[in-house]
Amino acid sequence: MATIVNNPGNAGESNNGSGFLMGVVLLIIVGLLFFYFGLPALRQATPQQDINVEVPQQAPSDVNVDVPDEIDVNVTNPDDAQ
C-alpha cells in the first residue's frame, strides 16, 4: 500500500495581495502629504531672489503710424484671374 503524505497549507499566510494594496495606499498618502506639507516648506526655506530689473527710460519719439479705416482682406488667386 502507498503512503500518502498530505501536507496542510499555512493557516496564517494567505497571499491574496492585501499587503501590496496597503503598500500602494500608504505610498500615495505619503506622496500627498509631501506635496501638501513638504513643497511649501521647501519653498519658504529657499531665499527669495529679487528679479525686478530696472529698464532705462527712453525719450518719447515722434513716430506717426497711419492706420487705414478699412482694410481689404479679400485675397485673390492670380491663377483665377485668367
pLDDT digits (tens, 9 = 90+) for 12-30: 666 677 888 899 999 999 9
For CA atoms 10, 11, 15, 16, the dihedral sign is positive
* Predicted confidence (pLDDT) per residue in 21-55, tens digit: 899 999 999 999 999 998 888 888 777 777 888 88
**Structure-block grid coordinates of residue 3:** 503512503
Q: Is the pLDDT of residue 66 over 60?
A: yes
State how far the Cα of 44 lies from the Cα of 46, in Å rounded to an integer: 6
**Residue 38 placed within a domain:** yes
Asked whether residue 39 is domain-assigned, the answer is: yes
Q: What is the extent of the structural domain holding 26? A: 20-44
Residue 30 lies in a domain: yes
Q: Has residue 70 been placed in a domain? A: no
**pLDDT score of 13:** 63
Q: What is the pLDDT of residue 23?
A: 93
Query: Structurally, how many domains does the chain consist of?
Result: 1
Residue 26 in any domain: the answer is yes
pLDDT of residue 81: 60
